[in-house]
Amino acid sequence: MEHLNARARFEYENKDRLSGDLKKASWQIDQTPWSLCPLLPIPDANTASDIHKAGYTGDKVDPEHIEELSRAWVLDSRHKITGFDHQYATFTAGVENFIDSAVYRSSAVSSLHLTYYHVPDVAKHIGRPYSTVSDAPPGALCIIELPTPQHDTAYVTAQITKAKARGHRVAVDLTFLPVATETVIVDLSNVDEVWISANKAWNTGDLRPAWRFSREPVPDALTLVHSRGRYNNASLSALSYMISTYRYDQLVEQHLPTYHHVCKVFDLTPTSNLLAAGRANTTWEPMYTDNWNYNGLIGTHNLIHTHGKYFW
């Protein structure tokens, strides 16, 4: 639909989603009502450029060495993680690959309500029964995102324990752990798979470095490709650079005070995720999935990025 000008387009697309100072801020940031849509990394052109340069111009790296560094990177953070001693590791570009594999290998799939939409989307796409963790049928795989902005962290860790007590296989997705606003305490001793990623905290573009750690060898193509050295070396090189350059907690150490300032200025409810804050009755439409899980949230990435430039 054509509009007379940018303001007319803004008003049409906003449809009263944003109001007051949030509406004003979104217009000032980029003249669209989508600048506050969650969940995206905090813009940092220099960091993004450095990551990509390291990925595409770096030498070939040793995956076993980067695996060791990745484990230490997570364990040396402020979080209290026990039981992270999974023997087998697989590298790929994007946690979505791990989700796809896990769903294909399962008879039924569960996740927490209002967590990553890709899980129910894939389950529906390939015809696997999907439910929330509390209603998971016997033998179901439970994919649990930790932390996740729609749930209290203690509640999420309790759901991991309950799922294992019911005999479910459990995969824990730690994608957002680098931007957790609080110290996460979790025991991964009985967890079947652990996924870590860097692409939601830092802008890694199409490099999307991610690891899957498992207690047993995973019988899928990702394992085969990794074992034959056909992993994405640019992605692995980028991760090597990130580990050597950034602390795992660096973004929270740098931006948490600004996050709380932004929440106060715009009357938002802090969440467990630096990149999102709560705001009731906020709906992001249209979206490409019916399982969109970020309604009721405001993306804080651009508000943090432009702090001090405008009125906040």
**Structural domains of the chain ordered from first start:** 6-44+249-305 (no CATH), 59-245 (3.40.640.10)
- Check residue 3 and give its pLDDT: 76
Residue 26 burial (10 A CB sphere; 0-12, 13-18, 19+): buried
- Check residue 1 and give its pLDDT: 67
Neighbouring C-beta atoms of residue 72, cutoff 10 Å: 12
- In the chain, what percentage of residues exceed pLDDT 90? 95
DSSP-derived secondary structure for 62-91: -HHHHHHHHHHHHHTSSSEEE----SEEEE
Neighbouring C-beta atoms of residue 162, cutoff 10 Å: 15
Element (H, E) at 55: helix 45-57
pTM for the model stands at 0.96
Nearest residue to 193 via CA among 174, 177, 166, 220: 174
- Check residue 150 and give its pLDDT: 97
- Check residue 148 and give its pLDDT: 97
Residues 128 and 104: their CA atoms lie apart, in Å, by: 8
3-class secondary-structure state, position 232: coil
Please determine, for residue 2, whether its predicted confidence score (pLDDT) is greater than 80.
no
Tens-digit pLDDT profile for residues 129-167: 999 999 999 999 999 999 999 999 999 999 999 999 999
Tens-digit pLDDT profile for residues 181-238: 999 999 999 999 999 998 899 999 999 999 999 999 999 999 999 999 998 999 999 9
Tens-digit pLDDT profile for residues 24-60: 999 999 999 999 999 999 999 999 999 999 999 878 8
Quick one: tokens of 167? 């005999």
- Check residue 80 and give its pLDDT: 98
Residues 222 and 37: their CA atoms lie apart, in Å, by: 32
